[in-house]
Amino acid sequence: MELTHPMKIYKICDARLWKDAEQAGTFHGAGIDIDDGYIHFSTAAQLPDTARLHYHNRDGQLLITVDSTLLDIKWEPSRGGDMFPHLYSALDLKHCIHVEALFLDENKVPTPIIGWPK
């Protein structure tokens, strides 16, 4: 049985870092991405936990929606054995579908104003 993966994947990113990427046309990742050697992404289902665990109380974050269909995404086990999308190269911004500002909710977790994608 072949596994299918979602077309849309997501990156939570500091707005200042993303502004630099927009000027360059490519995103090389945040510090943790560079340290690990790949850009960390999440699926829609993984986003709430990713925001809570890794971005708690960090204002000024963006939610970047990426079309993964033309990227060489590697699906690898991470948190709890769940398969996460990783990109072992820079992200060409032409693959970005949408950029949305996140706000800190009552628990200080960055959250989209209209809720997480499904």
Residues present in the chain in total: 118
Largest CA distance in the chain: 42
Domain chopping of the chain, boundaries: 8-112
Which pTM was predicted?
0.93
Domain range 8-112, its CATH number among 3.30.56.10, 3.30.365.10, 1.10.287.130, 3.20.170.20 = 3.20.170.20
Rounded CA separation 44/84 (Å): 11
Q: What number of other Cβ atoms are within 10 A of residue 103's Cβ? A: 12
Q: What number of other Cβ atoms are within 10 A of residue 40's Cβ? A: 18
pLDDT tens string 15-73: 999 999 999 999 999 999 999 999 999 999 999 999 999 999 999 999 999 999 989 99
